[in-house]
Amino acid sequence: MLRRLLVVGFATIVIAGCGSGSSTPSPEASPSDAPIVTPTETVTEAPIVEPTPAEVTTTTAACNAVGIRKLPSSSGALIVRVAAGTEVRVVETVVGDAYKAGNCGTAGETWLKIDQVDGKDVKALYGVTFAYAAAGFFR
């Protein structure tokens, strides 16, 4: 009971301190005098951009025993070594680990992302969706 009386008393003091006690609003605080803001900016959706497929090309191994790997890296797991003249279908070129030229080819860090070897799908041949080979060993 005492708690209720204190809360009501406190609320009365706060309310009395907030206003002049007059029931009519002051002229400068009239809501009708407030400016009306109308939004003028319209929201438009961004255009949908369709991806363009990469150009698929074929290239041929210039050297014997070129490594075809699971990752674009000389330390990536070796899938198979192919002979000179083996044709691969390249779906993309990617930057990977740097490699050395050895006896054949050129050094670099560009790798071929391959989906076919001699016209056969790498998924069917080796169980991977894509394979990688150092671009410097192909012409």
40, part of any domain = no
Cβ(57)–Cβ(90) below 8 Å: yes
126, part of any domain = yes
CA atoms in the 13 A half-sphere facing the CB of 119: 1
9, part of any domain = no
15, part of any domain = no
36, part of any domain = no
pLDDT by position in tens, the chain (length 139): 444 444 445 444 444 555 545 455 555 555 566 666 666 666 556 556 554 556 899 999 999 999 999 999 999 999 999 999 999 999 999 999 999 988 889 999 999 999 999 999 999 999 999 999 999 999 9
Residue 118: predicted pLDDT? 98
Rounded-to-integer distance, Cα 111 and Cα 69, Å: 10
22, part of any domain = no
Determine the structural domain holding residue 98 and report its residue range.
Answer: 62-137
Residue 5: predicted pLDDT? 42
Number of domains in the chain: 1
Residue 11: predicted pLDDT? 46
Q: Six-digit token pair at 91?
A: 């779906």
The CA-CA-CA angle for residues 23, 25, 28, to 5°, reads 160
In the chain, what is the greatest distance between 2 CA atoms, to the nearest angstrom? 99
Residue 55: predicted pLDDT? 85
